[in-house]
Amino acid sequence: MLGAVTDLIWVALGSALGGPSRYFLSGLIDRRLATTFPWGTIVVNISGATMMGALAAAAAVKGLLPLPAAWEFAAVGFMGSYTTVSSFSLQTLMLARDGDFTRAGANVGISLIACLSAIAVGFAAATSVLP
Amino acid sequence: MGATAELYLAVSAGAVLGSVARALVAIVAVASLGDAFPVGTLFVNVVGSFVIGYFAALTGPGGRIMASTRLRQFVMTGFCGGFTTFSTFSLETLMFVRSGDVHLAAAYVSVSIVTWLLAVWLGATLAMRFNRM
């Protein structure tokens, strides 16, 4: 019970940083590109998937995250909150609502293919690079 | 405190609530249904998509409720963003592939994308119906 509460505190600390990081980076990208295509969310989710892959390799393959707290903070808290499905869903719906089915489909295709590739790359890179 | 700082604080507070709720859902899902299939992640991503669709339509242009930018960022960017997770979804898919369960990986991805998009559409549709009442 106490362990679960401690875990949740680490999740809270990680997510307190992850959410604002996403807000900052996606906002920055969307303002710079000034387009209705959600590149900000895409970049956040791809970078988050890459780091999540590296974290998982560090934890599972290399045993470098021996403390559950480290995983709760970095993976469940920070990465979980940094990446988002809800904004992806809403932005896909908005593109479809505008009748822009090509770009709605592109958002789905790019997000899925890029994030799943990114996590495999992050996992493989960390497995080969880490001691 | 500046307006920008207040928005960041609202996002952070929402993200903490959403993420702790997601972690609790994961604990309950694994305890009751086991960890063979990531039901917990699927649940948070579907519910988070529904909520953001509903709230966006309810408080957006033509919506029934007037909400401040701060409240919209708290609920949508903060809570829904923290509750849902693309990185855990990606990791679970990778783990299926690595353990040779390619069919389960494909099923997980297909079921996820279809239910996420149905949920956000349903949320927005219900809120727009409520807006017109």
Of B26, B49, B73, nearest to A86 by CB-CB distance is B49
How many domains, chain A?
A: 1
- The 10s digit of each residue's pLDDT in A35-58 is 999 999 999 999 999 999 999 999
Closest CA to A84 of B87, B120, B71: B87
Residues of B in contact with A88 (CB under 8 A): 86, 116
| Interface contact B41, partner A, CB < 8 A | no
User: What is the C-alpha to C-alpha distance for residues A18 and B4, in angstroms, rounded to an integer?
Assistant: 17
- The answer, yes or no, to whether residue A1 has pLDDT greater than 70, is no
> What local confidence, expressed as pLDDT, does residue A61 receive?
84
Hey, are the CB atoms on B16 and A19 less than 8 Å from each other? yes
| Residue pairs spanning A and B at CB distance below 8 A | 171
pTM of the model: 0.96
Share of chain A above pLDDT 70, in %: 99
Band (pLDDT 50/70/90 cuts) for residue A3 is: confident
**CB-count burial class (<10 Å; 0-12, 13-18, 19+) for A99:** exposed
> What local confidence, expressed as pLDDT, does residue A2 receive?
73
Hey, are the CB atoms on B8 and A20 less than 8 Å from each other? yes
User: What is the C-alpha to C-alpha distance for residues B26 and B7, in angstroms, rounded to an integer?
Assistant: 28
Hey, are the CB atoms on B77 and A22 less than 8 Å from each other? yes
| Domain boundaries defined on chain B | 3-132
Which of A81, A110, A123 to mutate to probe the B interface, most B CBs <10 Å?
A81
Hey, are the CB atoms on B80 and A84 less than 8 Å from each other? yes
Residues contacting residue A58 through CB under 8 Å, at least 6 positions apart? A64, A65, A126, A130
User: What is the C-alpha to C-alpha distance for residues B10 and B15, in angstroms, rounded to an integer?
Assistant: 8
> What local confidence, expressed as pLDDT, does residue B44 receive?
98
Shortest distance, CA B117 to any CA of chain A (angstroms): 6
Shortest distance, CA A97 to any CA of chain B (angstroms): 10
The ipTM value here is 0.96
Shortest distance, CA A36 to any CA of chain B (angstroms): 16
Mean per-residue pLDDT for A51-68?
A: 90
Shortest distance, CA B29 to any CA of chain A (angstroms): 14
Low-confidence ranges of chain B (pLDDT < 50): none
According to DSSP, residue A130 is labeled -
Domain that holds residue A69: 2-129
User: What is the C-alpha to C-alpha distance for residues B45 and A72, in angstroms, rounded to an integer?
Assistant: 19
